């Protein structure tokens, strides 16, 4: 049988092995479907029986999803048990040498998942809402302080570079609400101011969200409460609005409304060609523009000689597919008054923008991964060929002609063995080249919020979204309450 025929048969035999596994999102689809249709017990069963998310490398995703589903079941205690475990995991887990190795030799899907930056901020959001629902404002304040720590770490990560996700305006706004709920109006003012400054510095719009009118009023009100008259006047001038006088009555409620599903992480492939100009690769981006990728191969311990042997290579990088593009029209009715929630968080914009910001980094890492695999492939082929050459030895009685004939035959056989070994490695490298498409998929696409004055006793609140209504009951108390809701 010819070598080309052998390769074809080997490819056919290997395909079921390499292509039998579903994608991460497909493997979790039954869980997501049950969760989004409100069948939370069934969703929990699917989560617990899913082998993929139970793997050690996906431990964080399991804890995040478990915390989310128990929150939807209104079991806030169990929800925060899982969320606290997730928080501790993020804080204590660092990249190991073996984790980096498996990422370079296989793909990043086999590395330990540590979460996207915005997922950590969303973790604080859910924990704070759980503590509010449990009547534990002091514990919620701990989350407010954790937001400060996360913000500092994120800012240090990118040194406050422009056009980078170095802070999260939604979390800073939430931080102000938490401090206000706990009666700490000074820190509430600082948090509201930090959030507003982030919007102002970005031209009144930050990652798909316009500066909320409610945030403007909360900042002005907290400044007035602290007697910061100069600050109040300065921001009234910046906002071009004045503080609206309101009466809290029997307390207030900040209601968060979640809708849609966060974008799905998928894979996009690019063909890179060696420009032959000392570490530059050419590629065509998703918009059809030809671009150049600067690639410092020495950082990845790849020599000039080895780099020059590579002409064209395929790489895979993650991308997001938005499946809930726009927030729905919605309104809140309570005590004869109607309120319109304002968008506070746009996870579509945040998720998509973050990947765009690190696109070249993802591309360079994918290129380094494939170059490493390619060099392993060439090394495997050479090693197999060398071993095959040593298998036979010439008989001393053979004539020179017979010895030469045997030598050529050995070289032919060795070359065939080497090419076959190289081909197998090439097949493995090709089908294992995958981008990391894992994410906290049960997050919403949008979060809107509204501040509602409450009457004494029970308040019946009607939520309306795209013609669908839902009623919840909230008992007024002293001060501010935080509550999350959704309309399925």
Assign 434 a pLDDT band (cuts: 50, 70, 90).
confident
Mean pLDDT across 203-223: 97
Q: Higher model confidence: residue 259 or residue 305?
A: 259
At residue 170, the pLDDT reads: 97
193: pLDDT strictly greater than 70: yes
User: Can you tell me which residue has the tokens 């720590």?
Assistant: 149
At residue 363, the pLDDT reads: 84
Mean pLDDT across 198-208: 96
For residues 37 and 354, what is the distance between their CA atoms, to the nearest angstrom? 29
Q: Cα–Cα distances in Å, from 271 out to 67, 310, 363? A: 40, 12, 11
Does residue 385 sit in helix, strand or coil? helix
Lowest mean pLDDT among 62-66, 319-323, 455-459, 484-488: 484-488
The residues, any chain, with a CB within 8 Å of residue 38's CB and separated by 6 or more, are 488
For residues 231 and 375, what is the distance between their CA atoms, to the nearest angstrom? 61
383: pLDDT strictly greater than 60: no
* DSSP code, position 123: H
Q: Higher model confidence: residue 211 or residue 160?
A: 211
At residue 382, the pLDDT reads: 52
Q: Higher model confidence: residue 11 or residue 369?
A: 369
Q: Cα–Cα distances in Å, from 207 out to 40, 172, 268, 343, 347? A: 31, 14, 23, 11, 8
Lowest mean pLDDT among 272-286, 330-344, 458-472: 272-286
b/e sequence 405-430, b meaning 16+ C-beta within 10 Å: eeeeebeeebbbbbbbbbbbbbbbbe
93: pLDDT strictly greater than 90: no
**Could you tell me if residue 135 is left (phi over 0), alpha (psi between -120 and 50 degrees) or otherwise beta?**
left
Per the CB < 8 A criterion, the answer to whether 206 and 199 are in contact is yes
At residue 198, the pLDDT reads: 95
Q: Is 298 exposed, middle or buried (0-12, 13-18, 19+ CB in 10 A)?
A: exposed
* DSSP code, position 329: P
Token pair for residue 358? 């690190």
Mean pLDDT across 368-390: 60
Q: Which of 18, 7, 12, 27 is nearest to 434 (CA)?
A: 18
Does residue 470 sit in helix, strand or coil? strand
Q: Higher model confidence: residue 287 or residue 294?
A: 294
What is the Rg, in whole angstroms, of the alpha carbon atoms belonging to the chain? 29
For residues 77 and 62, what is the distance between their CA atoms, to the nearest angstrom? 17
Token pair for residue 339? 């309120």
Assign 20 a pLDDT band (cuts: 50, 70, 90).
very low
Question: How high does pLDDT run on average in the chain?
Answer: 83
400: pLDDT strictly greater than 70: no
18: pLDDT strictly greater than 60: no
């Amino acid at each position: 049988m010819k070598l080309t025929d052998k390769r074809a048969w080997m490819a056919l035999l290997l395909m079921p092995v390499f292509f039998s596994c579903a994608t991460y999102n497909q493997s979790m689809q039954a869980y997501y479907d049950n969760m989004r249709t409100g069948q939370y017990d069934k969703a929990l069963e699917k989560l617990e029986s899913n082998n993929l998310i139970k793997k050690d490398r996906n431990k964080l995703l399991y804890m995040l999803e478990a915390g989310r589903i128990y929150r939807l079941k209104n079991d806030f205690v169990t929800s925060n048990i899982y969320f606290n475990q997730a928080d501790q995991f993020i804080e204590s887990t660092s990249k190991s040498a073996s984790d980096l190795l498996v990422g370079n030799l296989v793909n990043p899907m086999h590395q330990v998942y540590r979460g996207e930056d915005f997922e950590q901020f969303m973790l604080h959001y859910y924990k704070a809402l759980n503590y509010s629902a449990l009547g534990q404002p002091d514990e919620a304040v701990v989350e407010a302080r954790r937001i400060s720590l996360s913000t500092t770490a994120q800012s240090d990560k990118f040194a406050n570079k422009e056009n980078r996700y170095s802070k999260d305006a939604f979390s800073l706004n939430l931080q102000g609400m938490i401090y206000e709920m706990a009666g700490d109006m000074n820190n509430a003012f600082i948090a509201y101011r930090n959030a507003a400054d982030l919007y102002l510095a970005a031209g009144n719009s930050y990652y798909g969200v316009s500066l909320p009118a409610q945030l403007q009023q909360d900042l002005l009100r907290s400044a007035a409460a602290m007697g910061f008259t100069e600050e109040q006047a300065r921001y009234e001038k910046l906002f071009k609005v004045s503080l609206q006088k309101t009466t809290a009555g029997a307390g207030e409620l900040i209601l968060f409304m979640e809708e849609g599903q966060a974008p799905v992480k998928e894979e996009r492939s690019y063909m890179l060609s060696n420009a032959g100009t000392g570490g530059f690769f050419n590629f065509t981006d998703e918009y059809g523009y030809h671009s150049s990728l600067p690639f410092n191969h020495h950082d990845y311990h790849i020599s000039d000689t080895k780099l020059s042997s590579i002409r064209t290579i395929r790489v895979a990088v993650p991308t997001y597919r938005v499946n809930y593009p726009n927030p729905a029209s919605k309104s809140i009715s309570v005590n004869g008054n109607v309120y319109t929630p304002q968008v506070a968080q746009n996870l579509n914009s945040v998720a998509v923008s973050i990947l765009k910001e690190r696109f070249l980094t993802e591309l360079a890492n994918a290129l380094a991964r494939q170059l490493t695999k390619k060099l392993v492939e060439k090394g495997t082929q050479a090693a197999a060929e060398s071993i095959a050459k040593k298998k036979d030895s010439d008989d001393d009685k053979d004539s020179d002609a017979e010895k030469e004939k045997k030598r050529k035959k050995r070289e032919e056989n060795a070359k065939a063995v080497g090419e076959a070994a190289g081909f197998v490695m090439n097949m493995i490298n090709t089908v294992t080249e995958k981008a990391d498409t894992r994410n906290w998929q049960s997050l919403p696409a949008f979060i809107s919020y509204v501040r509602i004055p409450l009457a004494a006793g029970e308040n019946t609140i009607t939520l309306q979204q795209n013609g669908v209504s839902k009623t919840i009951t909230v008992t007024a108390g002293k001060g501010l309450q935080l509550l999350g809701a959704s309309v399925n």
